[in-house]
A = this chain, B = another copy of it.
Amino acid sequence: MTTAHHAPGATRPGGRTARTRQAVLAAVLQELDDGGFAELTMEKVAQRSGIHVATLYRRWRCVEGLVCELLTDLSADVPLPDTGTLPEDLRVLARSISAFYGEARMSRLIEAVVSAAARDPQAAMVLRSFFDERLVLAGQMVRRAVERGELPPETDPEEVLSALGAPFYYRILISRRPVDAALAESAATAVWAAARAGAYARRADAPSYGPSPGDA
């Protein structure tokens, strides 16, 4: 039994570790469909997946660990476009995000992950590094646009991508209404206009008035 010596992300494709992981994540998704995050337990996931509960605890520690890994796994399938222009790249990516979170269970999943992060520092770290990695990857879209001369060189790629994602998370977590097609159009149009207006330029001259200035 070598599974215990693998880090959660370190799977051998097609091996037993990978099969265990897929069975467990599929079970988590089904449990979330059935009862939501509030009713998710390690025992239910063990029962549904056929994986021993001790293995779950050893590898994922808690339900927070499970939902974070599920989000990472599913979101990796959202493709990063390269259409040749940034406004079109933004539109395509916004539509992918909209389609992803348009499924109610994906909205419930991100809600579960944010909720997990509020209570568990390790879940918070997983969430933060997951989005950091995605932003760096997606930032390539903006760096290409800068090279093409579509945006000023001082544009911060991660800020642009954060701004594209923000309306979706606001809709899901704060407004608590379904993500829809109109939101994707609005988000893409808004970010393009704002980026052109220099809203996401790196600024060394930002005025300091809040109690926690400058974390960038």
A positions within 8 Å CB-CB of B: 37-38, 95, 98-99, 102-104, 111-112, 114-115, 117-119, 124, 127-128, 131-132, 159, 162-163, 165-167, 169-171, 173-182, 184-187, 189-194, 196-200, 203, 206-216
Bound Cα distance A215, B180 (Å): 7
Which residues of B sit under 8 angstroms from A159, Cβ to Cβ? 186
> Which listed residue (B98, B111, B185, B212) contacts A180, Cβ 8 A?
B212
* Interchain CB contact under 8 A, B178 and A215: yes
Q: In chain B, what residue has the closest Cβ to A162?
A: B170
Give, as a whole number of angstroms, the nearest-CB distance from A208 to chain B: 6
Q: List 19 A-B contacts (CB under 8 A).
A: A37-B118, A98-B210, A114-B118, A115-B118, A131-B175, A162-B167, A166-B170, A169-B174, A177-B215, A180-B215, A180-B216, A181-B207, A181-B214, A182-B203, A182-B206, A182-B213, A185-B206, A189-B198, A190-B200
Copies in the complex: 2
- Residues of B with C-beta under 8 A to A103: 211
A178 touches which of B104, B162, B186, B212 (Cβ 8 Å): B212
Cβ B199 vs Cβ A190 within 8 A: yes
Q: Flag if A180 contacts B210 (CB, 8 Å).
A: yes
* A38 CA / B123 CA spacing, docked (Å): 13
Q: 9 other contacts beyond A98-B210, A112-B118, A165-B174, with CB at 8 A cut-off?
A: A103-B211, A115-B118, A180-B214, A180-B215, A185-B203, A192-B197, A193-B193, A193-B194, A194-B194
Bound state CA distance, A210 and B124, in angstroms? 29
